Amino acid sequence: MGLALAAGAVSLAGPWDSGQRTAERHRAAPGGTGGGAHHQTPADPDAPAPAPSAPSVLTALGTPGGAPVAAALPAALGPLLGDPALGPHPGASVLDTATGQELYASGADAPMTPASTVKIATATAVLTALPADHRFATAVVAPPGTSALTLVGGGDPTLDTARLTALADDTARALRARPAGSVPLAYDTSLFSGPAVHPIGANENLAPVVALMTDEGRLDDSDSGPATRTGDPAGATARTFARLLRARGVQAQDPVPGARPAGAEPVARTLSDPLPAVVERMLTNSDNDIAEALNRHTALATGRPGSFAGGSEAVPAQLAKLQLPLKGSEFADGSGLNRADKVTAGLLTRLLAKAADPARPELRPILTGLPVAGFTGTLSARYGAASAATGLVRAKTGTLGGAGVNTLAGTVVDARGHLLAFAFLTAGPPGADPGPAQRALDALATRLTAH
């Protein structure tokens, strides 16, 4: 029945993002509170109806009757946690989001490498550091009365070719009122600082972290997942921008690195989606480029350098304001690619519980951004057609194959209608095939649906 209801979402309510997730966004913002374009507006009467399986998920954010039966969980989860694929000492935590009661804990206070589940912490930190309507701007500026342009990177990890093209259109129109002739072009990447290359080195999972890039520095047509990247995203973006200007009749010179001139005035700019939408995209696709940019923006918003080191200080400082258990935690990056990252299963479930707290609507994009089992993002190909978890489990995945790390943290609606937060952290043999561990993690989450 669960599978039939979930599958019906596609035909009855359109794509998942336009059905269940849209309904949740409106519910997350009662009375016009919340963050971002989708979180501040009243319900659109022309918007698609919730997917058929949405009511049970949405109801779980309220106060269903009865109480979770914690006594049944050890017998339900214990044997599954004993799967050898999960390593000798997995960490596990299950929390009732309505009451904050920890229903199950096994190694829940042991710091472990979280892989990409650390993005839940990254999301929490940036959503508490910046306003919900914040957008990242990429701007073109020029000194008064001149056509000497500077393309200023605003640290927007979602800037794509289409928006860069629109920026060139706007810039060319604005230059018609300025002196004609050859146009010097510089590009400013000073917003971010420190090493641009991740400590794990250049790799297909992440471009150099710079304040100016297009299409995440990808050299193919992909928009998520691993891909070959340019080693100079800022220079590549500036050169593309110069070509776009020339195609519009602007005699742009070859771009050179440079700082925004003192007194320069805006010529044109392009804005990202509001912060909540960027966070959702980061979580759904496990986007490392967005995660590292948001990590730096958290640092900048809290008066720290926009660097790996600044983010490592800023994230725990933001989480501490929420009175979360941080003992043993290390935040070496924002994406989870760094094996030096350490969190506990108990911290992850409490982060998710904060996101479900009606008093914290600004954190709701963490829940709406989680991949949906069998439908979206990194869970789209997990959970079989007959799984009871399809459409009900929402979770951030984490895998560091070379390190044998496999993790899963998210929410599930149990059989009594409660929204439970769960986190399972594992460390198996380095280099082990992640498939068996992922299937074991999925079995744990699926078991919670029947609790």
Could you give the residue numbers annotated as active site? 116, 119, 286
How open is the CA angle 443-447-451, to the nearest 5 degrees?
170
List strands edge to edge, sheet with 137-142. Answer: 256-257, 185-188, 149-152, 137-142, 265-271
Question: What is the CB-side half-sphere exposure of residue 259 using CA atoms within 13 A?
Answer: 4
Q: What's the Cα-to-Cα distance from 233 to each of 161, 189, 206, 236, 242, rounded to whole Å?
A: 13, 10, 11, 5, 14
Q: Which residues have a Cβ under 8 Å from the Cβ of 85 and sit 6 or more positions away?
A: 426, 428, 432, 436, 437, 439, 440
Give, in degrees to the nearest 5, the angle at Cα 419 between 391 and 57: 40
Q: Which two tokens stand for residue 350?
A: 């409490």
Sign of CA dihedral 122, 124, 126, 129: negative
For residue 55, give every residue at least 6 positions away whose Cβ sits within 8 Å of its Cβ, in sequence order, or none: none
Burial class (CB in 10 A: 0-12, 13-18, 19+), 59: middle
- Find the DSSP H helices in 97-190: 119-129, 161-175
Annotate 53-104 with DSSP letters as a single string. THHHHHHTTS--SS---GGGHHHHHHHHHT-GGG-SS-EEEEEETTT--EEE
Positive or negative, the Cα torsion across 59, 60, 63, 66? positive
- Half-sphere exposure (CA, 13 Å, Cβ side) for 18? 9
